[in-house]
Amino acid sequence: MAVLVGKQAPDFSAAAVINGEEIVENFNLSQYKGKYVILFFYPKDFTFVCPTELHAFQEKLEEFKSKNVEVVAVSTDTEQSHWGWLQLSKDKGGIEGITYPIVADTNKTISHNYDVLTGDFYYDENDQLAATGEMVAYRGLFLIDKEGVVRHQLVNDLPLGRNVDEANRVIDALQFFEENGEVCPANWEKGKEGMQATHDGVADYLASH
């Protein structure tokens, strides 16, 4: 598993559905320079856990945007599949109402570059291209800062849905650090005290708790 934290987020150019209805070509990550990005991968359209996650991110979308954060979803399905799923209502298992971009990683290069692809390609004994496992994305999530650097990554196995509130908490922690120069201890939440990254700062924090 590649650790991308501290590195430039791999850019890409791919088809995507934006605003819940418009298919665009050449959607790219670099357009968000100067903003934070939550980039998350999910395995498949028209499944069970995935729509709960996509709706959960939509429910928090305005809160993300108020923090200068853009949300972008990616799966290995086609843009036509994304579009079709977006036309299906929530009570029928669809994702109607999702407005953030959903990227079509049909050649699987984005998932590969973020190292969230579930399988691997190889050549068999007949020199034929084959694959191990189903070539879809794990539930990867990456927080990218305003300079395009990955500051947080989390990868769940396919059955395990993510906690959107935790993604929000990590954004708060990063922005708190950037604004105050203080680091965030375990279970830190917005409104709590930070710590000076010095021995004295640790001692002061422990003494007050």
Query: Mind telling me the catalytic residues?
Result: 50
3-state secondary structure of 93: coil
What are the φ/ψ torsions at residue 110 (nearest 5 degrees)? -65, -50
Residue showing tokens 């991110």: 57
Beta bridge partners of 18: 22
Nearest to 103 by CA among 185, 194, 41: 41
Burial (CB < 10 A; 0-12, 13-18, 19+), residue 135, is middle
Cβ-Cβ contacts under 8 Å for 184 (sequence gap 6 or more): 173, 176, 177, 194, 195
| Cα–Cα distance measured from residue 43 to residue 73, given in angstroms and rounded to the nearest whole number | 11
